[in-house]
Every structure is written in C-alpha cells, then in structure tokens.
A and B are shown apart, each in its own frame.
Chain A
Amino acid sequence: MLSKVAEKLYWTARYMERVESTARLVSVYDSLLFDLPQEFDISWYNLVTLNSSESLFEKEYANRSELNVVKFLLADEANPSSMLSALNMVRENVRTTRDVLPYDYWEMVNELHIFARGNIRQGIFRRARHKFLGQMIKGCQQINGSIMGTMSRDASWHFLRLGRNLERADMATRLLDAGAVIQILSEAEIHMLIGQVVWGNVLRSSSADLSYRRTMRSAVRDCDVAAFLLYDPHFPRSLHFCLSAILAAVKKLPNSNEVVEKLQRILKTRYELENSQRLGDEFRDYLNQLQLDLGGLHLQFSQTWFSLEQKDTA
C-alpha cells in the first residue's frame, strides 16, 4: 500500500473520530449545565480549554458566551479542530483515497458533509441543537459501521484503526484532565454532589456511564472514573483498550518492531490510583506525560510508514 494513502487513511479516521467526539461533547455539556448550581463556575469555555484552543478562541471572539463557544467548536472553519473543519478534512482525505475505501464510504461522507453544512445553524442555537447533534453522531456511526461488514482487514483497515484509536486515547486523557482541573480549582467548595456531576459528565462524554456502573459497581468517584477510563481492558474508549487496539494493528504492519516496543512501554506505566487521595497536580502531570507519549507515537507512525524519504532499495 502506498505510504501516502496510508497516511490519508490514518487522518481520515482521526478526523472522523474528532467529528463524533466533538458532537458528543457539546451534546453532553448541553445537559450538564442544567444540573449545576448557578453560582458554580463551570462554563462552556471549559470545552475550549479541553481542546487547548484558548489562544485561537481569544483571537476571534470578544466574550466567552455559550453562543461563541458552540460556534467555535462546531462551525468555525478557522478552528482546525471544529466539527465542520474536521468533517472537511475527512472529505478531502477520502476524496483522495476513494480507490481503497468501499464505495459507500465516500457517498456517506459526502452526504454527512452536505447535511452538516446545510444545517449547522441548528447546532448553534439551543432549540434544535440536541436533535442536530444526534443526527451527526448517527451519521458518523453509520459511516464507521458501513466498513465493519464490507472492508477487508488489510493494511487500509489497520491504518484506520491506528487513527481512530489514537484520537480516542488522546480524548480520554483530555476528558480526565478537564475533570481534574475543575476539581483542583474548586477544591474548597466542591462537595459530593458536584463531584458526582462533574465526574459523571466525564463518563457521559465518553458514553462510558453505563459500562462504568456495570463494571465498577460503585458510585461515581474520581479515582474510579480515572481507573476506568485509563485502564479498563474492555471499554472501547479507555486508554488501554485503545492502546491495545493500536498494538494489535501495528503488529500486522511491516517494520513495526520499534513501534511495538514503545507501545508496550506506555502500557506498562500505571498511575497509582487510591481512593483516599484526591486527583491533584501529580495526576495532571501523569496525564501530560501520556499526551506527550501519544504525540511521540504519532511521530513514530509517520517515520515508519508515511515518510517519503525511505531507504532506496532499488
């Protein structure tokens, strides 16, 4: 398979995942904010922080209103990680890799793209937002589902898996970090109820609430949520699940020894999560290191398979 095509597939999956996770995130926040006491300082702006897009946002918008944040996250094409930008990138990447994807894939991406562009206003204003985002999520799932039953598990498939799971792993660490930030900022005033709301929200943002309850059989507590989203071996959005999926995919690809070693190293380092202790700065440092590791993985993928400067064996 062509290096260039492999890279595009990888990005297709990453952006596809980004479209879905952004839609999910906005949708979950929508209902969360109804549950919190008015005086509690958790705002839409947290979503901007979560994506590390503060400087870009400040450059473009005068205030941090709901309208501005939602516009920035969903519709703003100057924001490269907005839902619409990500969908544009999916379309561009698929347009140039149509030859390796099932035929329906391109058509569905196109449909979703047309739908999103035509109805984006519904996402910005509150009344129709929930329905619109629901349709976007369904659209993403339809696209991802379409390849389950039709696509060969060849190299193309594995590169899609790499992209999807790296993006998910990254999102898991970001969601936990956002939870930890709120917890630290509001240490003094936080009480059980709000802790429940915040960490419950972290779970819902990954659609993990149901699996969490069934697996952990405990109330929503910071350490348990972190343990679940980081190390649960069965939940498809947990860090370890994603890394194991990447590992499985990588093993099927050529020249993968170094990548395999690196993955195994990352999988080995675990943070001691004890129920007595609160998740504080130390935990955030750990998450930060994880994000650096994930960035390092991306670089290694790129050097191993995407780089055009390969050894001339001819």
Chain B
Amino acid sequence: MSIDWNQYDPQDYFDELIALKGVPRQSARHLVQHLETLGGNELESCRQMAEATIKEMGVSFTVYTEEGNIDRAWPFDIIPRTISARQWERTAAGLKQRLKALNLFIGDLYDQQEILKDRVIPRHIIDDSKNFRPECVGVKPAHGVWAHICGTDLVRDADGEFYVLEDNLRVPSGVAYMLENRAITKRVLPELFQKDEIKPVGDYPARLFDTLMSLSPRRIKRPEIVVLTPGIFNSAYFEHAYLAQQMGAELVEGSDLVVGKDNCVYMRTISGLERIDVIYRRIDDLFLDPEVFHSDSVVGVPGVMRAWRAGNVALANAPGAGVADDKVVYAYVPEIIRYYLNEEPLIANVKTYICDDPEQRNYVVEHIAELVVKPANESGGYGMLIGPHSSRDEQARFVKLINENPRNYIAQPTLSLSTAPTLVGEGRVEPRHLDLRPFVLQAEESYVTTGGLTRVAMNKGSLVVNSSQGGGSKDTWVVNGEAN
C-alpha cells in the first residue's frame, strides 16, 4: 500500500510538508507526489537501504549505558523536511544578526562591560554566571569573535514562524550528521534531486576551514589546524573525525599536544614537535587546561590557556564564550541585539520568564503546570520540568528549587512544535514533532548552513528530540520555489 495523504492529520500543529489535509506545501509538492507513487514495499526497501547505508558509512553516535558504551547507528527517517528558500533567506539573516550581537556582547563582558554599566542586563546575572570565566578578561581574540561556531536551535510554533529556542555557543554538535543525512538521501531518493531545486549543503567543511584559517596568529601560508577531541568514547567522536577528515586537519587528543616554555602549542609528530596555530576544540572549557580549570582533566592540554592568552594559538570557540549560553542571558538576547546593533531582532525568542525577577517568578510558580521550567546551564534536555506532563510532586519540587535559587531557572510556555510526516510502518506515515539546528560561522565573514540538522522525536506525541533520548533525524531541504 502506498501512502494515503488524506489519512495524514497534523491536527492543530504546523506541519512542515502538509498545509491542509491532502494538500502539500509548495516546497514539498514534488516530494509528496513522489512518495505517493512509491508502494509500501518500495518505501520499506528505501528505508532498509538507508539503514544499510548508515551502517556501511559507519555513521554512529555513542550512548552511555550501565553496560558500557554502545556505538549506535544513527536513527534516520527517510522522508526529508522541506523549507522554502525564501523563508530560509530571512532566517539565515536573522541567525547572522544574532551571532554578531552575541559576539559583541561576549567581547564586552570580558572587556569594559558597558552593557552592565548601562543596566541593560543586571550585573548579578553575570557575576553569578557559572560560565563567566575571569581567566578570559582582557583577552582580545582575532576579529573580536569569541563564538566562531554556533548551533542555534530553532523551533516552529503553530503560527508557522521560527523561534530561537537555544543558542549553543560552547561545543555544538550535529553538523556531520546534517552532511551525512544528505549523502544518505541522495542514495535513497535520487530521482527527486532531478525534479527539485534542492540547495546543496556540502560546503560547510570548507567554510569551517576558512573560518579557522582566518584565526591563525601566524601569518603563514599553511597554518596548522587541529581538531581536539576528548577521544573515541565521546558521543560526538564520529563527528570530530569526520570534520577533521573533510578539512584535512589533524584529529588530536590532549596527549598529542604539548605547550612549550615559549607558550606555544606543539603536537607530537613522527619528525618531532610541530607548532600548531588553531585548535578547533571539542572539549568543554573546564576540561581544556588542567593548569587553569579542573586539575584532574585527562583530556585537556596543560598550558593551553597560557598559550591562548599570549596570542600564540587560537581556540575555537574561545574559552568563556559559554557565558552567553546561559538561559537567563538568552532571555535578554533581543535587548542585546538592540543594544549593540541598533536593529530589531529578525528572529524572535520563545517567550521566557526569568525567575530571578520577582514578578515573573510569581507568575511561573502560579502557572507551573502549564510551563516548561529549565535550569540556566544544562544542555541535552536534562534537569527540566515539562509542566503538562508532570506530577504534582515534581511541580512542588521545582517550585522549591526555583525559590532556593531563582537565578538558575527560567520558564517557557509549552510549545506546539511543528510536525512532519515520518515513516512509522510499511507505507504508513504519522506526524512527529521536530526542531532544526542550523550552524552559524563567524570570523572575518559570517556563514549559515543551508537548512541544518532536523531532529525528530520518533515517539508519538513526544517533544524530546535529543539523540541520547530517543530522537532521530531527517534530511533538511531548502527548496527553491514560492514561499510556504
């Protein structure tokens, strides 16, 4: 049996592919038609082919379990998610604007702190921030940029508009999966690439390379760039290796690097020590340098902060950039954009209540059963309360947590995340919720990926898209054509 689109019902959610029952959006017209011509068997064989391809390409991520670490195949849904090119242009401009402002903000915090003096953001928010690093004060990274690589999480609400849910400015991951998703789809649905004008995504590694090159402190022809990974047991190791390969950079671990008395960073090679210029580090700030941060870190490089402060090596992202990742700071981003750029934000934030503010806190406590409460500095969807799906006990526990440490919590309304048709059985599709993580680069120039990584909550009704918690992904097509 082939897909019966008249049976597909996205209810009140915004669906990425289907505008009204049986009517596809412009950007998805060819895709939906094509899927209709495939029988259930053919769809099933496409699905199996994708699965085999993923295994053969070795696209995997690591899951930590009590039984040890498992290298799991990447969960993938073969039906792409489409976005019209026109809408994407607007969104991309908004993402660049946002990162530009955030970088000015981070630079200001580690310099004159004008924004605090002007009382746009209360000083104690920054003083109490877990991710503000006094070690970074006074450092002037190249181009004034601290967060060179950013993986912004976007969601679409019922009104069909994109909203920013999070800015990930520390070590965002997922871009390799975005690239591999496209490679898989090209093998599974090759016919569609003839019919539709689907914008390519493959230039990311080259743009990342250019971005990193432009940070080199030495003005030499071939700066040495390395990708610093915590190692094979990290959940994103696959991506670290993939990006290093695509850029022709060395993939190194902390033990491969050494900082000399001259405050330069060297790697251990077959011909001895060789100086390196740029480190794309995929290790958290606090594990980066045991001389400065966690002294028991075994994945870091002793002395690398000395070298960075001396201007002998570039770190991407710069240490301390995570200060803008704080979810309380997030609530101020629209103000930050106005303050530094004198522009209106092109993409809105999700409505956010700051528990630090007494009035807003009261609102949160009273409406806790309707809201999503998040700690200010967690990622991966941990430590949060989803009001409508929670028990009274859990709600009471969070009220207590909020009152004890209001600075550490924010709350947001429960979003109606958009959906897209997802294969759930032979020839059967059902709506599943999803989000979108585009990747934004900034150095001398800015760049935004074409689309990004679409993450899907594979379980019916679920809003959790994290791959560590049952999420999967889809290829993301930015398609030329009329707006949705």
Interface residues of A (CB under 8 A from B): 1-6, 95-96, 98-100, 103, 106-107, 110-111, 114, 155, 253-255, 305, 308, 310-314
A96 touches B245 (CB 8 A): no
A314 touches B266 (CB 8 A): yes
Q: Bound complex: CA of A99 vs CA of B229, how far in Å?
A: 13
Residue B264 lies at the interface, judged by CB distance under 8 Å to chain A: yes
Q: Bound complex: CA of A305 vs CA of B270, how far in Å?
A: 5
Q: Bound complex: CA of A311 vs CA of B268, how far in Å?
A: 10
Instruction: Return the CB mask of B254-289 against A: 1 if under 8 Å, else 0.
Output: 011011111010111111110000000000000000
Given contacts A2-B252, A5-B250, A99-B249, contact A155 B270 (CB under 8 A): yes
Residues of the A chain whose Cβ atoms lie less than 8 Å from the Cβ of B256: 2-4, 308
Selecting from B53-61, B115-123, B213-221, B348-356, the interface stretch reads: B53-61
Number of A-B pairs, beta carbon distance below 8 Å: 80
Residues of the B chain whose Cβ atoms lie less than 8 Å from the Cβ of A310: 268, 272-273
Q: Bound complex: CA of A74 vs CA of B331, how far in Å?
A: 60
Given contacts A107-B56, A255-B271, contact A314 B249 (CB under 8 A): no
A interface, over-half SS: helix
A2 touches B232 (CB 8 A): no
Closest 10 CB pairs of A and B: A314-B260, A254-B271, A99-B244, A99-B245, A305-B270, A110-B58, A99-B251, A98-B241, A3-B268, A6-B270
Given contacts A4-B253, A305-B270, contact A107 B242 (CB under 8 A): no
Q: Bound complex: CA of A314 vs CA of B265, how far in Å?
A: 9
B interface, over-half SS: mixed
Residues of the A chain whose Cβ atoms lie less than 8 Å from the Cβ of B261: 314
Given A3-B269, A98-B241, A308-B255, 5 more A-B residue pairs with CB atoms under 8 Å apart are A1-B270, A3-B256, A99-B241, A313-B272, A314-B258
Residues of the B chain whose Cβ atoms lie less than 8 Å from the Cβ of A255: 271-272
Contact of A312 (CB < 8 Å), options: B58, B250, B251, B273 = B273
In the complex, how many angstroms separate the beta carbon of B442 from the nearest chain A beta carbon?
25
- 16 CB < 8 A contacts A-B: A2-B268, A3-B268, A96-B232, A96-B251, A98-B245, A99-B241, A99-B250, A107-B56, A110-B56, A110-B57, A110-B58, A253-B270, A305-B270, A314-B258, A314-B262, A314-B264
Interface residues of B (CB under 8 A from A): 55-58, 227, 232, 241-242, 244-245, 248-253, 255-256, 258-262, 264, 266-273
Q: Bound complex: CA of A98 vs CA of B260, how far in Å?
A: 29
Q: Bound complex: CA of A107 vs CA of B267, how far in Å?
A: 28
B269 touches A1 (CB 8 A): yes
Residues of the B chain whose Cβ atoms lie less than 8 Å from the Cβ of A4: 253, 255-256, 268
Residues of the A chain whose Cβ atoms lie less than 8 Å from the Cβ of B250: 1-2, 5, 99
A107 touches B272 (CB 8 A): no
Contact of B56 (CB < 8 Å), options: A98, A99, A114, A312 = A114
Q: Bound complex: CA of A287 vs CA of B269, how far in Å?
A: 34
Q: Bound complex: CA of A1 vs CA of B260, how far in Å?
A: 19
Residues of the B chain whose Cβ atoms lie less than 8 Å from the Cβ of A96: 232, 241, 251
Q: Bound complex: CA of A103 vs CA of B256, how far in Å?
A: 23
Among the interface residues B252, B262, B267, B270, which one has the most CB atoms of the partner chain A within 10 A? B270
A254 touches B270 (CB 8 A): yes
Given contacts A6-B270, A312-B273, contact A110 B55 (CB under 8 A): yes
Q: Bound complex: CA of A110 vs CA of B250, how far in Å?
A: 22
Residues of the B chain whose Cβ atoms lie less than 8 Å from the Cβ of A98: 241-242, 244-245
The residue on B at minimum CB distance from A4 is B256
Q: Bound complex: CA of A201 vs CA of B260, how far in Å?
A: 57
B58 touches A2 (CB 8 A): no
Residues of the B chain whose Cβ atoms lie less than 8 Å from the Cβ of A100: 245
Q: Bound complex: CA of A107 vs CA of B250, how far in Å?
A: 20
Residues of the A chain whose Cβ atoms lie less than 8 Å from the Cβ of B269: 1-3
Contact of B258 (CB < 8 Å), options: A95, A106, A110, A312 = A312
Q: Bound complex: CA of A99 vs CA of B266, how far in Å?
A: 19
In the complex, how many angstroms separate the beta carbon of B74 from the nearest chain A beta carbon?
13
In the complex, how many angstroms separate the beta carbon of A229 from the nearest chain B beta carbon?
31
Residues of the B chain whose Cβ atoms lie less than 8 Å from the Cβ of A5: 250-251
Q: Bound complex: CA of A253 vs CA of B259, how far in Å?
A: 25
In the complex, how many angstroms separate the beta carbon of A15 from the nearest chain B beta carbon?
17
Q: Bound complex: CA of A114 vs CA of B54, how far in Å?
A: 12
Residues of the A chain whose Cβ atoms lie less than 8 Å from the Cβ of B266: 314
In the complex, how many angstroms separate the beta carbon of B261 from the nearest chain A beta carbon?
6
A103 touches B272 (CB 8 A): no
Among the interface residues B249, B258, B259, B264, which one has the most CB atoms of the partner chain A within 10 A? B258
In the complex, how many angstroms separate the beta carbon of B340 from the nearest chain A beta carbon?
38
B56 touches A308 (CB 8 A): no
In the complex, how many angstroms separate the beta carbon of B243 from the nearest chain A beta carbon?
9
Residues of the A chain whose Cβ atoms lie less than 8 Å from the Cβ of B252: 2
B58 touches A95 (CB 8 A): yes
Contact of A3 (CB < 8 Å), options: B56, B242, B270 = B270
A312 touches B245 (CB 8 A): no
Residues of the B chain whose Cβ atoms lie less than 8 Å from the Cβ of A114: 55-56
Residues of the B chain whose Cβ atoms lie less than 8 Å from the Cβ of A311: 272
In the complex, how many angstroms separate the beta carbon of A56 from the nearest chain B beta carbon?
24
In the complex, how many angstroms separate the beta carbon of B263 from the nearest chain A beta carbon?
10
In the complex, how many angstroms separate the beta carbon of A23 from the nearest chain B beta carbon?
21
The residue on A at minimum CB distance from B53 is A107
In the complex, how many angstroms separate the beta carbon of A10 from the nearest chain B beta carbon?
11
In the complex, how many angstroms separate the beta carbon of B173 from the nearest chain A beta carbon?
17
Q: Bound complex: CA of A310 vs CA of B56, how far in Å?
A: 38
Q: Bound complex: CA of A110 vs CA of B256, how far in Å?
A: 27
Given contacts A2-B256, A5-B250, A98-B245, contact A106 B58 (CB under 8 A): yes
Given contacts A95-B232, A310-B272, A312-B260, contact A107 B58 (CB under 8 A): yes
B270 touches A313 (CB 8 A): no
Q: Bound complex: CA of A95 vs CA of B234, how far in Å?
A: 13
Residues of the A chain whose Cβ atoms lie less than 8 Å from the Cβ of B56: 107, 110-111, 114
